[in-house]
Amino acid sequence: MPDTDATNTQSQAHSHARGCFVCQTAIPLAQKLWSEATRDHFRNSRVEFLKGLRSLIDDRIEYLSRQSETKGTHVTVE
């Protein structure tokens, strides 16, 4: 059975760096001051940003796929 104290300590180390102003002060302060609606807006903005990146990638894939279709020749196999 894993040591739960060690696991909790490791997960906290990854989420909050010791001595980091942002991790120790800014994030906790923002979490206390922001309303639920504000958190929802920022979460939605992150989702929309990622959708924008996905759209750029999809467009590039489509462009490269169209280029590769014009190259090569068809050979009939009997």
Residues in Cβ contact with 17 at an 8 Å cutoff, skipping those fewer than 6 apart: 23
**Is the pLDDT confidence value at 70 over 70?**
no
Tell me: pLDDT of 2 over 60.
Answer: no
Average pLDDT over residues 17-40: 86
At 61 the pLDDT is: 93
Q: What is the pLDDT of residue 27?
A: 84
The answer, yes or no, to whether residue 30 has pLDDT greater than 50, is yes
DSSP 41-55: HHHHHHHHHHHHHHH
